[in-house]
Chain A
C-alpha cells in the first residue's frame, strides 16, 4: 500500500492556460474522489468515480473542468482557461467498498496558483 499519490504537487500557471492534474489511487480502490480546498476552508466535493464511471459532479465543477478515470485506475482533472479563482489545493481521495462509512484516503494534493 503506497497510498494515494498526486502529480504535480505544485503548479503555477498564467490565467487562460489549461492545466491537468493526475491522481493515482490506492491499488484496487474502486472509488475515487476529487475535492478542492481553498485557504481557510475545508475540502469541498467536486466529483466522484466508481471504477471508470463518473457518477456525480458538484455544481462547483463548471464546464471548464473535466475529470476522467479511464480503465478505473488513475484519474485526471483538467481545468481549461484557468482563472485566478481556480487557485486552490486540489485533493484526490480513494476508498474501497461501497458504503458511506468507508474511510477515504487522501493524497497530498496539488496546489494550483493562477497568476
Chain B
C-alpha cells in the first residue's frame, strides 16, 4: 500500500525566506510523486512531478523538489517566498500498474508574512 505523510499542517515564513514543505512517502514499489497547490476556492494545480527520471525536479513558480529514496522523502522548496505563494500544498504518490490512483497527504497550509 502507498501513503504520504506531510509534516506540519501549517508553515509560516517571511516574504523572501526559504520555503520548505516536507513530504515522506511509503511505498513497496517505486513511486511516482507529485506536488499540487490549492488556492482558496480553486482546484488543485500541479506544481511538479517525479517520474523516475532526474531526482531533482523543477516546477512552476520557482518551486523544486528532490526525490531521496534513502530517506523516502520528496520535500518541496523555494528559495524566496512571495506573498502569492500563500496556499495549501498537497503531496501525492502513485505507483506503476495502479491506474494512476493518487494517495494524497493531508496538506500543508503555507502562510507568508510581509
Contact = CB atoms under 8 A, between A and B. Distances in A.
Interface string A92-114: 01010011111111111100000
Interface residues of B, number: 31
A40 B44 CA distance: 15
Contacts of B105: 42
B101 A48 contact: yes
Given A48-B99, A100-B32, A101-B51, 14 more contacts: A33-B102, A41-B106, A42-B6, A42-B92, A43-B90, A43-B104, A56-B99, A91-B44, A98-B99, A100-B96, A102-B100, A103-B46, A104-B46, A104-B100
A31 to B, nearest CB: 7
B112 to A, nearest CB: 20
Contacts, number: 73
Contact of A101 (B9, B49, B103): B49
Interface of A: 3-4, 31, 33, 35, 40-45, 48, 50, 55-56, 91, 93, 95, 98-109
B76 interface: no
